[in-house]
Amino acid sequence: MSLWTNILERADLRSRERRAASAHREAMRALQEALSAAESAQKTRDQFLARMSHELRTPLNAVIGLSRVLEKNSAGNMRPEDLHLLGRVRAGGEQLLRLVEDVLDQSRIEGGGVPLAISDADVVGIATNVVKQYRSAAAAKGLRMLPVLPESAPTVRLDPGRFEQVLTNLVDNAVKFTVSGDVKVTLASDAATRKPTRMIVSDTGIGIPEDQLDVIFQPFQQVDASARRSFGGAGLGLPLARQLCEGMGCRLTVESESGRGSRFTIRFPGA
Ligand code: ADP
């Protein structure tokens, strides 16, 4: 190889190295820009969610709270028909509030997760409370609400508020999708240690076809579109419930048979 060829080849190599270094710098700069754009979009989204959450919840809470005050009928001047209508205003407000909260939670999960506050949760107390809340809705449909709960049990490491949200969703569905029979809320515990292992919500309702058992855990999915007209709901409860359970180290599963009923099980961490 002549000296000239050697010099030319080295110069070419240096020039290619320079081009590669400059392309690398350019790619890093583009990456940095994309990253800060994503961070700023995330910040805007968080601010929007916090703001919407406040703006929607405040008036809804006023509608619900004031309806409750009026429903007490302290002055005794409301007719039963008025009280019935007020009850419907309150129930509509509560339904809307749940929907707003589900939509906000779903967006939070998609945007990086819902913060959880794990502590020692009294699962019997929480389940008793949820059963109490649904007693009158179940009775109005002629359903029996059967809590199969011990007097007390050791606590479970969970986010108590989020666990109550999941259980409320399961009981709400059980009451909604059951025409006759009963809804049971059962705590299963380890026979030796008394430690709770599972919370089960079972019903004798319309059931879920086998090919839909996975689909119902996807956002905005319901067993059939006509059900949306007759039962309402947005199809957000179960996907949220499953993701919240996973975040708390629990597992949410379902067994069901069309026309015979459904059984949703929350398996506690380590059980
Ligand atoms: P929503 O109840 O708001 O529609 P969910 O995510 O909680 O949303 O439930 C999704 C769908 O799963 C329901 O629309 C219904 O078709 C089905 N489903 C849930 N729970 C039950 C149940 N206990 N019995 C029968 N079907 C159920």
State if residue 222 touches ligand 1 by the CB under 6 angstroms criterion.
yes
Instruction: Report helix, strand or coil for 104.
Output: helix
Burial class (CB in 10 A: 0-12, 13-18, 19+), 140: exposed
State if residue 178 touches ligand 1 by the CB under 6 angstroms criterion.
no
State if residue 208 touches ligand 1 by the CB under 6 angstroms criterion.
yes
Nearest Cα neighbor of 97 from 49, 43, 53, 163 is: 53
Q: Compute, in angstroms, the gap from residue 207 CA to the centroid of ligand 1.
A: 9
- What does each of the 271 residues of the chain score in pLDDT, given as a tens digit? 678 888 888 888 888 889 999 999 999 999 999 988 888 887 787 778 778 778 888 999 999 999 999 999 888 899 999 999 999 999 999 988 988 888 888 877 777 778 899 999 999 999 999 999 999 899 999 999 999 999 999 999 999 999 999 999 999 999 999 999 999 999 999 999 999 999 999 999 999 999 999 999 987 777 775 555 566 667 888 999 999 999 999 999 999 999 999 999 999 999 8
The atom of ligand 1 lying closest to the CA of 174 is 23
The CA–CA distances, whole Å, from 258 to 17, 82, 98, 233, 262 equal 67, 40, 27, 20, 8
**Ligand 1, pocket-test mutation among 173, 179, 201, most atoms within 8 A of CB:** 173
Helices 3-71 and 80-110 cross at an angle (nearest 10°) of 170
pLDDT at 253: 97
Residue bearing tokens 């059984």: 263
Give the H/E segment covering residue 9.
helix 3-71
Per the rule left: phi > 0, alpha: psi between -120 and 50, beta: everything else, 184 is: beta
The atom of ligand 1 lying closest to the CA of 169 is 7
Q: Compute, in angstroms, the gap from residue 17 CA to the centroid of ligand 1.
A: 61
Task: Report, in angstroms and rounded to the nearest whole number, the Rg of the chain calculated over CA atoms.
Answer: 27
Count of H-run helices and E-run strands, the chain: 6, 7
Amino acid at 216: I
Nearest Cα neighbor of 205 from 137, 143, 136, 267 is: 143
8 A C-beta contact, residue 241 and residue 252: yes
Q: Compute, in angstroms, the gap from residue 235 CA to the centroid of ligand 1.
A: 7
Chain length of the chain: 271
